[in-house]
């Protein structure tokens, strides 16, 4: 590490805006690893600019500008990589949003949700940046125009189009915090017990189950749609988890919303599930098992090896197996 990089890592002033930089980069990219790379490069560039004598009126604004421009470049190249992604692509989950101001963290929880990040993937990079900077981070359009090197009217149009697109995909009925907590606990109990009828009662008619293994570990080949099919798939998952060594599920906030951690008997992470809840129903379940997207959360279990061990154990018990018992279900 160069001396400049050391000062970026240890400088109190820049460390104070690291959280804001990450908040922007992560929402722009939906990837923790890519966001961390952007943040490190942004802080290094800011440090070099200040060391060279550049006058900075507002350090947070300067860092946000550099971060956004780097994130835009990264997002353009990331989109090309995602076109070759194996299976469904989901954002890397986070369990906390490192925004320095606690009040700001609460206000921006919705912009962190897995559901919204998936919608943001359908916007152009410029629309995504304009909407995030204005509607989430409260930057005036004049500043955003400078950041994006566009006219103010152009930036207004970008944000407006993005806003309409996002609003069209908002949850049908908002759920209260108590509803989310109670429904999550009921969901966990039904999965643990393999209670298919109980699961179906919690799911919306058009619920969608998506898995992201990135070609690294077994995962759903495609999304599963509909209450009956999703409940049956979750029932298979419950059977698999029951056959793994002391695997357990626990409720946790994922991207600011209801979610589940799946861990093994040594507290190593197997999977992270994010739940979308509207009113009294679960409308979507997103499961991330790609180890590249979970490594930042702590020690990981060898998911592929555990699934192979589960399959071997089942083959040893019986030679006649129904297709529904396969893992993962290929629907």
322, pLDDT greater than 60: no
Contact 204, 283 (CB under 8 A): yes
Share of residues in the chain with pLDDT > 90 (%)? 62
**Residue 14 pLDDT class (50, 70, 90 cuts):** confident
Q: Are residues 306 and 193 in the same domain?
A: yes
21, pLDDT greater than 50: yes
135 lies in some domain: no
219 lies in some domain: yes
Q: Are residues 191 and 303 in the same domain?
A: yes
CATH of the domain at 39: 1.10.1740
Q: What is the pLDDT of residue 5?
A: 45
Neighbour count for residue 163 (Cβ, 10 Å): 15
232, pLDDT greater than 50: yes
Burial class (CB in 10 A: 0-12, 13-18, 19+), 101: exposed
**Distance separating alpha carbons of residues 88 and 286, to the nearest angstrom:** 10
159 lies in some domain: no
Q: What is the pLDDT of residue 40?
A: 96
239 lies in some domain: yes
The more confidently predicted of residues 84 and 198 is 198
What predicted TM-score, i.e. pTM, was given to this entire model? 0.86
Q: Are residues 182 and 310 in the same domain?
A: yes
Pick the range with the lowest mean pLDDT from 22-26, 264-268, 325-329: 325-329
Q: Where are the beta strands (DSSP E) in the chain?
A: 203-212, 224-225, 248-254, 257-263, 269-278, 281-288
Number of domains present in the structure of the chain: 2
Q: What is the pLDDT of residue 284?
A: 96
- What's the whole-number mean pLDDT along residues 16-39? 94
Q: Are residues 48 and 186 in the same domain?
A: no
**Distance separating alpha carbons of residues 300 and 288, to the nearest angstrom:** 13
The more confidently predicted of residues 14 and 277 is 277
Q: Are residues 61 and 197 in the same domain?
A: no
156 lies in some domain: no
The more confidently predicted of residues 173 and 62 is 62
171, pLDDT greater than 90: no
Q: What is the pLDDT of residue 11?
A: 55
- What's the whole-number mean pLDDT along residues 273-278? 95
Q: Are residues 77 and 181 in the same domain?
A: no
- What's the whole-number mean pLDDT along residues 300-327? 66
In eight-state DSSP terms, residue 265 is T
80, pLDDT greater than 90: no
287 lies in some domain: yes
331, pLDDT greater than 60: no
- What's the whole-number mean pLDDT along residues 199-225? 94
Q: What is the pLDDT of residue 291?
A: 95
**Distance separating alpha carbons of residues 11 and 15, to the nearest angstrom:** 6
Domain end (from 44, 60, 85): 85
Tens digit of each residue's pLDDT (9 = 90 or more) over 102-161 = 445 555 667 889 999 999 999 999 999 999 999 999 999 999 999 999 999 999 999 999
168 lies in some domain: no
Q: What is the pLDDT of residue 107?
A: 54
2, pLDDT greater than 50: no
The more confidently predicted of residues 254 and 265 is 254
Residue 28 is part of which domain span?
Answer: 1-85
Tens digit of each residue's pLDDT (9 = 90 or more) over 45-55 = 999 999 898 88
CATH of the domain at 202: 3.10.450.50
6, pLDDT greater than 50: no
Q: Are residues 301 and 184 in the same domain?
A: yes
Q: Compute the half-sphere exposure of residue 212: CA atoms within 13 Å on the CB side of its CA.
A: 22
- What's the whole-number mean pLDDT along residues 221-242? 92
Q: Are residues 186 and 320 in the same domain?
A: yes
197 lies in some domain: yes
Domain end (from 85, 115, 131): 85
Q: What is the pLDDT of residue 7?
A: 43
Contact 93, 274 (CB under 8 A): yes
Q: Are residues 187 and 315 in the same domain?
A: yes
Mean pLDDT (the chain) is: 86
Q: Are residues 188 and 297 in the same domain?
A: yes
Domain end (from 50, 85, 120): 85
The more confidently predicted of residues 96 and 133 is 133
């Amino acid at each position: 590490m160069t001396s400049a990089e050391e000062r970026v890592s240890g400088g109190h002033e820049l460390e104070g805006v690291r959280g804001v930089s990450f908040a922007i980069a992560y929402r722009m990219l939906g990837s923790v690893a890519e966001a961390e790379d952007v943040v490190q490069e942004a802080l290094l560039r800011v440090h070099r600019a200040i060391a060279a004598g550049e006058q900075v009126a507002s350090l947070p604004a300067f860092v946000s500008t550099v971060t956004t421009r780097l994130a835009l470049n990264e997002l353009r190249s990331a989109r090309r990589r995602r076109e070759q992604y194996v299976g469904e692509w989901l954002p890397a989950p986070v369990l906390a949003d490192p925004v320095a101001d606690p009040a700001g963290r609460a206000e921006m929880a919705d912009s962190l949700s897995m559901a919204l990040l998936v919608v943001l993937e359908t916007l152009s990079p410029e629309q995504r940046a304009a909407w995030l900077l204005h509607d989430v981070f409260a930057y005036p359009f004049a500043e955003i125009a400078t950041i994006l090197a566009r006219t103010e009217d152009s930036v207004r149009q970008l944000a407006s189009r993005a806003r309409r697109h996002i609003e069209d995909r908002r949850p049908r009925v908002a759920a209260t915090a108590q509803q989310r907590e109670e429904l999550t606990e009921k969901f966990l109990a039904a999965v643990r017990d393999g209670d298919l009828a109980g699961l179906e009662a919690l799911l919306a008619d058009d619920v969608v189950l998506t898995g992201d293994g990135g070609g690294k570990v077994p995962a759903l080949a495609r999304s599963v749609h509909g209450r009956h099919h999703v409940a049956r798939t979750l029932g298979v998952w419950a059977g698999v988890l029951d056959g793994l060594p002391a695997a357990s599920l626990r409720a946790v906030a994922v991207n600011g919303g209801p979610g589940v951690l799946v861990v093994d008997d040594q507290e190593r992470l197997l999977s992270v599930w994010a739940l979308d809840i509207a009113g009294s129903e679960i409308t979507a379940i997103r499961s991330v098992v790609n180890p590249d997207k979970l490594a930042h959360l702590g020690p990981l279990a060898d998911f592929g090896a555990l699934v192979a061990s589960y399959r071997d154990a089942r083959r040893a018990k019986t030679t006649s197996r129904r297709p529904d018992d396969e893992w993962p279900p290929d629907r």
